[in-house]
Structure 1
Amino acid sequence: MNEFIEKCKSIVAGYLGNPNMSKDEIFVVWSCKTLQNKKALLSATAKGAPYFEITYNGDKDETYVDVYKKERNYVVK
């Protein structure tokens, strides 16, 4: 699983346009492994950094990346 997390952090750094970004600036919110599949949710400490959902499909040996950006935050009462 650690190898997968390191790959995820490299993907995030590359997407943010900073491949030399410190791995300490990228954090894992949640991760899991089920059978041959893995998933991790990550973001970075930079202000406005997007949220990443990275999934590894062990059957197809493929990695999928979804990127989310917060549009706004408001109160509902």
Structure 2
Amino acid sequence: MNHEEFMKKAKQLVVDYTNEKVERWGNTEVLARDIFVVWSVKALGNSKVLLGAPFDDGGMYYEVTLNGDKDEIYFDAYKKQENICIEI
């Protein structure tokens, strides 16, 4: 799986997870075009992507990792607990 195919798969995983588990306003179904990439990297046979969605989903973000050696994808869903500003 190349990096572009992986990112497409990662977006679809977020869509599936969000439509099944995350409470949203109304009955709006999430589509792959709604999901955006915050950061991605490819190193050797591995890839990682951080994803988000532009709607109020309670501060969720998603991390999807491709382990190219084992042909496995790891999916993590996180919810923001706090956002604290530290002045320097």
Q: Tell me the TM-score range normalised by the shorter chain.
A: 0.7 to 0.9
Following superposition, the deviation at residue 38 of structure 1 comes to: 0.5
* Structure 1: runs of 5 or more not aligned: none
Q: Residue type matched to 1:28 in 2?
A: V
Gaps of 5+ in 2: 21-28
Residue by residue, what CA displacement relative to the aligned partner does 1:33-68 show, whole Å, maximum 9, x if unpaired?
111000000011121251111100001000001111
2:69 pairs with 1:59: yes
User: Identity of paired residues, percent?
Assistant: 46
Structure 1 length-normalised TM: 0.85
Partner AA of 2:33 in structure 1: D
TM-score (norm 2): 0.76
Whole-angstrom CA distance in 2 between matches of 1:59 and 1:42: 23
Query: How many residues end up aligned between the 2 structures?
Result: 76
- List structure 1 segments (4+ residues) > 6 angstroms apart after TM superposition: none
Alpha-carbon RMSD = 1.6
